[in-house]
Amino acid sequence: MRGFWRTRAGQARRATMLHGTPVGRPSTALHVMGLALIFVAAGMAICVLIELASTNQDSGALALGAVISGGVGGLLWWRTRVGSTRTRDVFAAVGWTWAAMTLFGAVPYVLAGTFATPGVDFVEQLVNSIFESASGYSSTGSTVMENFERPGRGLMMYRQLSQWYGGMGIVVLAVTVLPYLGVGGLDLIAAEAPGPSSDRLAPRVSETARQLWSIYALSTVGVTVALFVVPGPGLYDSIAHGLTTAATGGFSPYANSIGHFDSLLVELVIIAGMLFGAVNFALHWRAAHGDFGAYARDSELRTFVSLIVGAAAVVVAVLWLSEPLGGGEALRAGVFNVISLGTSTGFSNAMGAESAGDFAVWAPAAQMVILMLFVVGASAGSTSGGIKVMRARVLAGHMMRSIRHTQQPRAVFAVKHGGVAVSEDLVSRVAGFFLFYVLLICFGAVALTMLGGDLNTSIGTIISVLGNMGPALGEAGPTSSYAEAFSQPARLLLAAFMLIGRLEIFPVLLMFAAPYRTARAALHG
DSSP calls for 269-285: HHHHHHHHHTS-HHHHH
Asked whether residue 494 is domain-assigned, the answer is yes
Asked whether residue 228 is domain-assigned, the answer is no
CB 401 within 8 A of CB 408: no
pTM for the model stands at: 0.88
Backbone angles phi, psi at 421, to 5 degrees: -65, 135
Residue ending a domain, choose from 192, 210, 230:
192
Residue ending a domain, choose from 160, 175, 192:
192
CA 467 – CA 465 distance, rounded (Å): 5
Asked whether residue 183 is domain-assigned, the answer is yes
Kindly report the number of other CB atoms within 10 A of residue 417's CB atom: 18
Residue ending a domain, choose from 192, 211, 229:
192
CB 65 within 8 A of CB 111: yes
Asked whether residue 158 is domain-assigned, the answer is yes
Asked whether residue 145 is domain-assigned, the answer is yes
Asked whether residue 79 is domain-assigned, the answer is yes
Asked whether residue 243 is domain-assigned, the answer is no
DSSP calls for 423-470: PHHHHHHHHHHHHHHHHHHHHHHHHHHHTT--HHHHHHHHHHHHTT--
Asked whether residue 474 is domain-assigned, the answer is yes
Q: How many structural domains compose the chain?
A: 2
What is the residue-level pLDDT of the chain in tens, covering all 525 positions? 334 334 444 444 444 444 444 457 878 888 889 989 999 999 999 999 999 998 889 999 999 999 999 999 999 988 888 776 676 777 778 888 899 999 999 999 999 999 988 878 899 999 999 999 999 999 999 999 988 989 999 999 999 999 999 888 766 766 665 655 554 555 666 655 554 444 555 556 667 778 888 899 999 999 999 999 999 999 999 999 999 999 999 999 999 999 999 999 999 999 999 999 999 888 998 898 899 999 999 999 999 999 999 999 999 999 998 877 788 899 999 999 999 999 999 999 988 888 888 998 899 999 999 999 999 999 888 888 889 998 999 999 989 888 888 888 888 888 887 778 888 888 888 888 899 999 999 999 999 999 998 888 999 999 999 999 989 988 888 988 899 889 999 999 999 999 998 887 777 777 776 666 666 666 665
Range(s) of the domain holding residue 500: 425-523
